[in-house]
Amino acid sequence: MVNEDCLNISATTEHCTDEIGNSYAVNYANGALHSSFGYALRSRDIHGLSIYPKAAPAMVWKKLKLSKASEFVRRIDFHVDARASDGMQDVAAYVK
């Protein structure tokens, strides 16, 4: 991809089926349990009633925002500047 001297706009869409949603919930729950308590669930089954005991902790974890402590911290040290030769202007670093 080559960015020419113009404005480029990208749009992201998300499409989610029941299977994808169930898979996300199971993977999220497994990750939360493993990172917080060292407990690794072995089953990644996303079919039948076994999804509910796995999805419930994931939903509680997200609603209580317990994962905020381990989230990525974004450090900003430049701004976009069309007048600059490289398109960026250095600024004092700050956390967003």
Count up the domains in the chain and report the number: 1
CA-nearest of 46, 48, 4, 42 to 25 is 46
The Cα 8–Cα 50 span in angstroms is 45
Helix axes 18-37, 51-63, angle to 10 degrees: 70
Q: Model pTM?
A: 0.50
**Who wins on pLDDT, 46 or 79?**
79
* Residue range(s) defining the domain that contains residue 41: 18-95
Contact predicate 35/70, CB 8 Å: yes
The Cα 79–Cα 68 span in angstroms is 26
- For residue 27, tell me if it sits in a domain: yes
- For residue 59, tell me if it sits in a domain: yes
Tens digits of residue pLDDT in 3-39: 677 777 788 888 888 888 888 888 888 877 777 777 7
- For residue 86, tell me if it sits in a domain: yes
Residue with tokens 């040290």: 77
- For residue 9, tell me if it sits in a domain: no
